[in-house]
């Protein structure tokens, strides 16, 4: 592949800065660098512009150094929140990437930072707080605190039945002996509680029964007083007398 030498007029990450003389593919220079005015061909006439490009580069680097130094001071006090999806066991799906952190910095703090300046070593695979290195400038580094939280809601705990409902069920199940189940459903809770207290009352030991007095001795038949004889009934008048009276 044919190569050509160019003079860079702008800073290109991975290639060089202003006034640098580099070799690139002829097609890359012709189709991208020259139309975007990021470089100029290396000629005697263009070499005269190298000094002015060096001065522009020094001004740009000084401005970037000051800006990145201020940014490093502010970033060290921030906590960047990143939310991820997790399974039921709390484990993450995948890892937290530099692009995710760059997006959250822009969204939460309006800080535009190239993701290539965010170095995550080792990779973030767990929830919690983590520290991430930021290479903001050749001479400026910073540490950013990243807090990873889950967007998956925790499972809802099983609700225990109300204690009043349990008490009512206990009274319903108790019932009376010989009666069908659910016989006491019409009773109020207060009556059931009163009955429950009676059932739970401690047993009081009863005093021994007093000996019954001996039955009176039977009187012999000979000594009994004879009963008074009943008077004889008057004889009924004869039927003849009744007939005479009728005449």
Q: Is the peptide bond before 122 cis (omega within 30 degrees of 0)?
A: yes
183: CB partners within 8 A, 6+ apart: 175, 176
Helix (H, G, I), strand (E, B) or coil at 8: strand
Report the Cα–Cα distance between both ends of the chain, in Å, rounded: 175
Specify the pLDDT at position 110. Answer: 93
Task: Provide the β-strand partners of residue 65.
Answer: none
Which residue in 132, 131, 142 sits closest to 76, CA to CA? 142
Helix (H, G, I), strand (E, B) or coil at 66: helix
Domains of the chain as residue ranges with CATH? 3-69 (3.40.5.10), 72-150 (3.10.430.100)
Spell out, as residue ranges, where the chain has pLDDT lower than 70: 1, 154-247
Q: What stretch of H or E contains 24?
A: strand 21-25
Specify the pLDDT at position 151. Answer: 86
Backbone angles phi, psi at 205, to 5 degrees: -70, 130
Which residue in 221, 71, 88 sits closest to 137, CA to CA? 71
Specify the pLDDT at position 191. Answer: 56
186: CB partners within 8 A, 6+ apart: none
Specify the pLDDT at position 130. Answer: 93
Which residue in 64, 206, 59 sits closest to 138, CA to CA? 64
- Beta-sheet strand order (sheet of 21-25): 21-25, 3-8, 39-41
Per residue in 189-244, pLDDT (tens digit) is 455 555 555 545 456 566 556 555 555 455 555 555 555 555 555 555 555 455 45
Specify the pLDDT at position 200. Answer: 55
């Amino acid at each position: 592949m044919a190569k050509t030498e160019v003079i860079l007029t702008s800073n290109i990450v991975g290639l060089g800065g202003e006034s640098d003389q580099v070799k690139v593919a002829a097609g890359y220079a012709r189709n991208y660098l020259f139309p975007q005015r990021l470089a100029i061909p290396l000629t005697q006439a263009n070499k005269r512009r190298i000094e002015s490009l060096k001065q522009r580069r020094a001004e740009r680097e000084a401005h970037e150094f000051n800006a990145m130094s201020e940014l490093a001071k502010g970033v060290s006090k921030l906590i960047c929140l990143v939310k991820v999806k997790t399974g039921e066991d709390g484990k993450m799906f995948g890892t937290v990437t530099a692009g995710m952190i760059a997006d959250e910095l822009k969204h939460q703090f309006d800080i535009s930072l190239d993701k290539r300046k965010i170095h995550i070593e080792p990779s973030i695979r767990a929830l919690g707080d983590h520290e991430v290195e930021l290479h903001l400038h050749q001479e400026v580094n910073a540490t950013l605190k990243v807090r990873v939280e889950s967007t998956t809601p925790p499972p809802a705990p099983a609700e225990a039945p109300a204690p009043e409902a349990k008490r009512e069920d206990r009274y319903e199940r108790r019932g009376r002996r010989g009666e069908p189940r659910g016989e006491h459903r019409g009773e109020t809770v207060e009556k059931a509680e009163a009955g429950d207290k009676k059932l739970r009352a401690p047993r009081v030991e009863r005093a021994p029964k007093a000996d019954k007095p001996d039955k009176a001795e039977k009187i012999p038949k000979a000594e009994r007083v004879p009963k008074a004889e009943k008077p004889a009934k008057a004889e009924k008048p004869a039927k003849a007398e009744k007939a005479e009276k009728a005449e």
